[in-house]
Structure 1
Amino acid sequence: MASEEMPQVEIWTDGGCRPNPGPGGWAAILRFGAAEKELSGAEAETTNNRMELTAAIRALEALKRPCRVTLHTDSEYVKNGITRWVKGWVRNDWRNSAREPVANMALWQRLLAAAEPHEVRWVWVRGHAGDPMNERVDRLATEARRRLLAGAPPAL
C-alpha cells in the first residue's frame, strides 16, 4: 500500500510506576479522525521504562492494518531507543556500548515488531508541561496503577 493511502493515526502514550521499581501503569490514546480509543493496564512489579515501552507496544499492536502513525511519548528512553540506539543494539547482537545485554531487550524486540508494518514518526513531548493529551494519558496510566493497587480488574 502506498504511504499516502495508509490511514493516519495519532497516538499518545505514557507509563510510570511509584515507587520505581514498583507497581506501575501504562496507557495509550489512539486517534483516527474523530474516533478515539483508550488503552491502559498495570503490573504489580515493574519500572518506569518498562511501562513506557509497554504503552507504545500495546498501542501499535492495537492497529489492525498498516498505518502512518505519529506516536507522542514523554519518554526520552523510548524516543532515543527506537530512533537512535536500537540499530546499534541489533548490529551488536543486543549488546549496549558497554557490551552488556540491553535492558528490556524483549520489550525492545516486541516494539520493533509492532512498529514494523507501520510508518511511525516518533515525537517527544515534555511531560507534565501542560500538553492536554499528554496530561490525559498520564492520568489514564496513573488510574490503571491505582486500580491495580485497589485490587480492581484492569481496564483495557
Structure 2
Amino acid sequence: MDGVITVSTDGSCLRNPGGASGWAWVNHDGSSASGGIASGTNQIAELTAVLEAILAHPGAEPLRVESDSTYAIKCASVWVAGWKRKGWRTASGGPVQNLGLVQGIERAIAEREGEVVFHWVRGHQGDHFNERADVLCGAAARAAQQGEVVVTRTSVTGEVTVGVAGPAPVATEAVAAAPVRTAATRTAGARTAPVARVPRGTQPEPELDVLF
C-alpha cells in the first residue's frame, strides 16, 4: 500500500528477568533507533521497542509495526481494549503487567493521526529488518550492561547521533534533528483513534514467538 511507513521492532534481555536490556526499531527506509535499559525483562524490552517506534513516527500515514513478539502485539492490539474496560485489570481480576508501557502504547496510538497496524513475523528466519533490529537491541543491551544507557539513532543517510533516552520524530524520507517528543508532551490535540489492529491472515502464533 502506498504511503505506509513500515517499522520492525525487537527487544533483548541478557538475563531474564532483571538483566540489562535493549530495544530497537528499524524503519524500512533505513533509519533506526535503539536504546538500553539498565534492568528489565524480555517483555519490557519488546513493549518499549513498540512504544518508541510509534512515538518516533507521528503523522497521517498508516504505520505498520512488524514484531516477532506475540506478547507485544497482543498487548497493543488485542488485550488492551478489554484491560482498559475492566479498569486495567486482567480477565482474572489481577493487575496488568507492565501497565505503564501498555498504557503508553495505547495513548500513543490514540494520539497518532494515522492508523497503526501490527504484523507478526517469525524471528531469526532471515527477515532483513527483523534481523537488523535484533542486532541493534542486542548491542544496546550489552552497552547497558556496561553502564551505557543511551539512545542511538541512525538516519537514512547513515548519520548517527547518540543521546539520552527519549524518542524523536522522524520523517519517512530523512531523519532531521528534532526535539525529544515523549508521550507526556504529545497530549495537545489528542483524539480518539481506531484501535490498532492485526491484519487478517497475519495473526501471531504463540508457539512460534521468540522473545530474546
Structure 2: distance between partners of 1:10 and 1:102: 28
Matched, 1:24 2:18: no
Structure 2: distance between partners of 1:79 and 1:121: 10
Structure 1: distance between partners of 2:75 and 2:87: 15
Normalised TM-score (structure 2): 0.66
Please state how far the C-alpha of 1:94 moved relative to its aligned partner.
Answer: 0.3
> For structure 1, which segment, 13-22 or 142-151, has the greater mean C-alpha deviation from structure 2 after superposition?
142-151
The 5 A counterparts of 1:58-97 are: 58-97=52-91
Secondary structure of 1:29's match?
A: strand
> For structure 1, which segment, 141-150 or 86-95, has the greater mean C-alpha deviation from structure 2 after superposition?
141-150
Alignment-derived partner of residue 7 in structure 2: 11
Q: Which has the higher helix share?
A: 1
Structure 2: distance between partners of 1:61 and 1:24: 20
- Residues 123, 146 of structure 1: CA spacing in aligned structure 2 closer, same or farther, 3 A cutoff? same
Q: Read off the aligned partner of 2:68 and give its amino acid letter.
A: D
Secondary structure of 1:11's match?
A: strand
> For structure 1, which segment, 126-135 or 86-95, has the greater mean C-alpha deviation from structure 2 after superposition?
126-135
Structure 2: distance between partners of 1:151 and 1:107: 23
- Residues 86, 64 of structure 1: CA spacing in aligned structure 2 closer, same or farther, 3 A cutoff? closer
Task: Write out the 4+ residue segments of structure 1 that deviate beyond 4 Å after TM superposition.
Answer: none
Please state how far the C-alpha of 1:64 moved relative to its aligned partner.
Answer: 3.6
Tell me how large the CA RMSD over aligned residues is: 1.7
- Gapped regions of structure 2 (runs ≥ 5): 153-212
Between the two proteins, the alignment pairs up a number of residues equal to 149
Please state how far the C-alpha of 1:153 moved relative to its aligned partner.
Answer: 5.5
Alignment-derived partner of residue 149 in structure 1: 145
Identical-residue share of aligned pairs (%): 36
Aligned residues of 2:14 and 2:20 also touching (Cα < 8 A): yes
Secondary structure of 2:119's match?
A: strand
1:20-39 CA distance string (max 9 Å, x none): 011100000123xxx43211
Please state how far the C-alpha of 1:7 moved relative to its aligned partner.
Answer: 4.3
- Residues 84, 155 of structure 1: CA spacing in aligned structure 2 closer, same or farther, 3 A cutoff? closer
Please state how far the C-alpha of 1:65 moved relative to its aligned partner.
Answer: 2.1
Please state how far the C-alpha of 1:49 moved relative to its aligned partner.
Answer: 0.5
Aligned residues of 2:36 and 2:149 also touching (Cα < 8 A): no
Structure 2: distance between partners of 1:153 and 1:23: 9
